[in-house]
Structure 1
Amino acid sequence: MIRFSEKQLLLDIKLQATPSLDNFVSGRNFELIQTLKNMLLGHEKERFIYVWGDSGCGKSHLLQAAVRFFIQSGEVAYYCPGEMNQLIQLSDGLCCVAIDDVESLDNEAQLVLFSVYNQFKEAGSSILLVSGSLPPMQLNLRRDLVTRLAWGLVYQVHELTEAEKIDALQKQAAERGFVLENAVCRYLLQHAQRDLSSLMIILDALDRFSLVHQRHITIPLLRKLLNNR
């Protein structure tokens, strides 16, 4: 029997779940998820997608999931969080480049992205995924780059509603064999990071925390876990 100490649980709560398209709760983003899946499987003609939305809506999850898909298939893919490496260039076997937080790119990095886009466009094989906080034409970037960002598919990533997050948490809890009351869900949403990835990490830690203390999951138990993080 494996026993978890409180210290282990509090460390585990900081870990990030491995992103994939299958563990992304789509909500109003169903069309985007289907388009991404088709693109990764080679069933989509368009090779460029720009996604935008508020912080915590899942943009990074989607980009990392796409890159992970290719890496797990033995292909070459890059995930770049708010930066561009000048060494990235079109080469045999390069399947995907994902640029997160495009508005963070400096002038030099914007030039690199502009060049990579043109190379990918000409070759027509590699996938380019870019995310930002605003629609393309509202970004404070080079105008020629902004134009390129608007040429492909553009999707807003909609954050889940509170009801959708509660439903997702309760379904995950049911799969683990316990009931998560509405009041506990609401307390969690009020006192923790509200993005679904963070909520699921806490749910996992809460499940094991309750086993360590051999107590039902209640608001006092959740409060104890959150206060001791």
Structure 2
Amino acid sequence: MNRQLLLDVLPAPAPTLQNYIAGANGQALAAVRALAPGRALYLWGAAGCGRSHLLKGLASTPDAIYVDVQQDARTLRSLADADSAAAMPPVVAVDDVHNMDETRQAGLFALYNRWRECAATNRAFALAVAGDRAPISMPLREDLRTRLGWDLVFRLDPLSDADKLAALSAQATERGLQLAPEVIQWMLTHRERDIRKLAALLDALDRYSLATGRHITVALLRAMLADPNHKHHDAPTTRAL
């Protein structure tokens, strides 16, 4: 098997509610798990706090929909303007509202109105939205900004180092990796501490280990980062050793 084929195996685990490491965000996770048709939820926090993970995990249920700003700007409006007699998805998860342009903001505004109209009917659906700051500080049109706080609102806190260690260890276990604690500790010490980038780095290390036929060690990790033929664009710049 050539190097490229080796690098294409074992994709990173998809975000689920089961593999989300809550840390101090246990109440938010419980609210996401319990989100029922007719309820809305807004999650906010800095990059790397797990907003997208929770929304994608919630939207992994059958017929649920996940929408972000990479998708067609008309997606939200088409959901809001669907035939009033048509069944809505049980869950609509809308990510990164802080990056929405005017068209997407208008679509989300209409979707909130549709959610409220349906909330007490047999067409009720759950609406989960996420952004990088509290509703009052969100750079959105005023009528949409107020709707973000219509129901449940939770701030997500970044993971502690202990939580990140647990998260990376869990990812390694899920992938069947035998990973020495010093490898994860090196990652936490010498890399940026965004859990998404750390998880992507672990994924790349797994692939590099397969490609080179070497066990995962700190030496292999450092060799991967120094390899000019290895491209890992998600990994941040190494800190000075």
* TM-score, structure 1 normalization: 0.80
Structure number with the higher helix fraction is: 1
* 2:49 counterpart SS class: coil
- 1:57-206 to 2 correspondence within 5 Å? 57-69=49-61, 73=62, 75-81=63-69, 83=73, 85=75, 86-89=77-80, 90=82, 91-124=86-119, 125-173=124-172, 176=176, 178-182=178-182, 184-190=183-189, 192=191, 194-206=193-205
Q: Which SS does the other structure have where 1:158 is aligned?
A: coil
Checking the alignment, whether the CA contact within 8 Å between 2:172 and 2:178 is kept in structure 1 is yes
Assess, with a 3 A threshold, how the Cα gap between structure 1 residues 9 and 99 changes in structure 2: closer, same or farther: same
Alignment pair present for 1:37 and 2:33: yes
Per the alignment, in what secondary structure is the counterpart of residue 20 of structure 1? coil
CA distance in 2: counterparts of 1:50 and 1:147, whole angstroms: 11
| Distance in 1 of aligned mates of 2:172 and 2:48 | 22
Q: Do the aligned partners of 2:6 and 2:210 also contact (CA within 8 Å) in 1? A: no
Q: Which digits, 9 at most, give the CA deviation of each residue in 1:144-175, with x for residues without a partner?
A: 11111111111112221122212332344456
What is the number of equivalent residue pairs in this alignment?
216
The answer (yes or no) to whether the contact 1:103–1:139 under 8 Å persists in 2 is yes
Structure 2 runs not aligned, ≥5 long = 232-241
Q: Separation in 1 of the partners of 2:126 and 2:224?
A: 42
Could you tell me which runs of 5 or more consecutive residues in structure 1 were left unpaired when the two chains were aligned. none
Structure 2 distance, partners of 1:78, 1:55, is 18
> Whole-Å Cα distance in 1 between the matches of residues 135 and 90 of structure 2?
23
Structure 1 residues 201 and 109, CA gap change in structure 2 (3 angstroms):
closer
| Equivalent-residue separation in structure 2 for 1:29 and 1:114 (angstroms) | 27
Answer yes or no: is the 8 Å Cα contact 1:56–1:159 preserved in 2: yes
- Cα offset for 1:78? 4.0
Q: Distance in 1 between matches of 2:18 and 2:79?
A: 28
Contact 1:47 1:126 in 2 (8 A): yes
In the alignment, the residues of structure 2 paired with residue 179 and residue 106 of structure 1 have an alpha-carbon distance, to the nearest angstrom, of 43
Identity %: 35
Structure-2 residue corresponding to 1:20: 16
Q: Paired residue for 2:46?
A: 54
RMSD: 2.8
